[in-house]
Amino acid sequence: MNARVRQLDPTVLARTLEGARRAKGGGLVVFDLDSTLLDNRPRQARILQEFGRAHALAPLYAARPEHWDGWEIRHAMRNAGLGPADVETWAEDAKAFWRDRFFTSEYCAVDEGIAGARDFVVAVREAGAQIAYCTGRHEAMRVGTVECFRRLGFPVPGPGVHLLMKPTFELSDDDWKASVYQQLGRIGEVLAVFDNEPTHVNGYRAAFPEAIVVHLATDDSGRDVPLADGVRSVRNFTLA
């Protein structure tokens, strides 16, 4: 188990839905996107495949999402079958190739949903709560993000569904998340928050002490940040 996971507690999903029903339309449930609702590994695999084709690195042609078990591109290249010498030769070029594509609308549109995520978000909305997608993605990724929502069946931005994105790529995710607490509070009473990054989870816990604050035990930036008291973890959004 991830050392930063305090306690796996899938009952928080049912409790969130019950809280949404009790709020009778006045509540808000906040969701991060990357590694919370959405799995970025298909995006990563597509980029690695394209890099392989661009440089005739045959093992990378068949790079798969499961080859990414973190954010280190060297590991993914090795997992795809590239030899150690070629990994070291090409890793820095692969990073630059990845960086030019990963943070774009075109590539984020191919993300897939975390298990149960689409059904859970739909259930929260049907229970009467507003939805706020609060993401570290910047505004230039909005079109691809909404396209991904539509393809996967997530509620799309509109009445009762809000997509809050960084105004610029350069703004750090930490600063962005800390800056939106008041904005979220103005939308509605924050009933629950779901995020994969411990620093952000802890910030929400301090800002909204009455809310259910949930850590997605998927992956994160790797900083050694223990979860705050009262935070619970889930691996996905499967209710069963």
Q: What is the pLDDT of residues 10-27, one digit of tens each?
A: 899 999 999 999 998 889
Q: Would you place residue 169 in the very low, low, confident or very high pLDDT band (cuts 50, 70, 90)?
A: very high
pLDDT, tens digit, 9 for 90 and up, residues 104-161: 999 999 999 999 999 999 999 999 999 999 999 999 999 999 999 999 999 999 999 9
Domain ranges of the chain: 11-39+112-234, 41-108
Mean pLDDT of the 24-39 span: 95
Q: Which CATH code for domain 11-39+112-234?
A: 3.40.50.1000
Residue 82 to residue 78: CA distance in whole angstroms:
5
Buried b (16+ CB within 10 A) or exposed e, 158-174: eebbbbbbbeeeeeebe
pLDDT at 47 over 80: yes
Evaluate whether 145 touches 33 at the Cβ level (below 8 Å).
yes
Predicted TM-score (pTM) of this structure: 0.93
Q: What is the mean pLDDT of the chain?
A: 95
